[in-house]
Copies of this chain bind each other. A is one copy, B any other.
């Protein structure tokens, strides 16, 4: 059934937009960290393809698409070059990293969950893999750059939740006649907006009561 509704062009578009956005988030973080152009390229490439490579290894789609379709690497290298020269146009690097990261999150949670369904995973694993695809590249970026991972910051705004919601919607909509590019696009916009609103208004998840005896 999923193979019927699966739209390869839509899927590819999502992946390319997410790759661009994550590549930019990696390149800008590298600028903020004062890396040279090679460090920028490394961080940009790993952020851009990291989540998708994990997804493809787990579902058994090897070599991962980032290594069979050279577009992904070219995008990341192009973004690196562009950012090298044009980053000074961006006044607030931190904010820009977060906005591009949100765009990557929004597209990869959907493409990850959908590809997982195509490869026969059941709903909960597909949602988990969609979420992992979305947060994986950013986790690698933050670990390599020795930043606290965005997904796991005490007191941070919603991050994995928008991705998990997007993946859940992506798993549900093929069961309804609304499936199509429009629904998928709206889902991506919803995830992107939810993440940015959470950042803007400081929306946080519920937290267990603090204990005094831990640590």
- Those of A145-177 within 8 Å (CB) of chain B: 145-146, 148-149, 151-156, 158-161, 164
Enumerate chain B residues within 8 angstroms of A42, measured Cβ to Cβ.
135, 151-152, 160
Distance of A68 Cα from B60 Cα, bound (Å): 12
Q: Is A129 an interface residue (CB 8 A)?
A: yes
> Which of A5-13, A80-88, A100-108, A179-187 sits within the interface?
A80-88
Given A151-B39, A207-B36, A94:B214 Cβ within 8 A: yes
- Taken residue by residue from 39 to 72, chain A's Cβ proximity to chain B (1 for < 8 Å, 0 otherwise) reads as 1111101000000010001111011101110100
- Taken residue by residue from 122 to 144, chain A's Cβ proximity to chain B (1 for < 8 Å, 0 otherwise) reads as 10110011000001000100011
Whose C-beta in chain B lies nearest to the C-beta of A30?
A: B152
Enumerate chain B residues within 8 angstroms of A213, measured Cβ to Cβ.
91-93
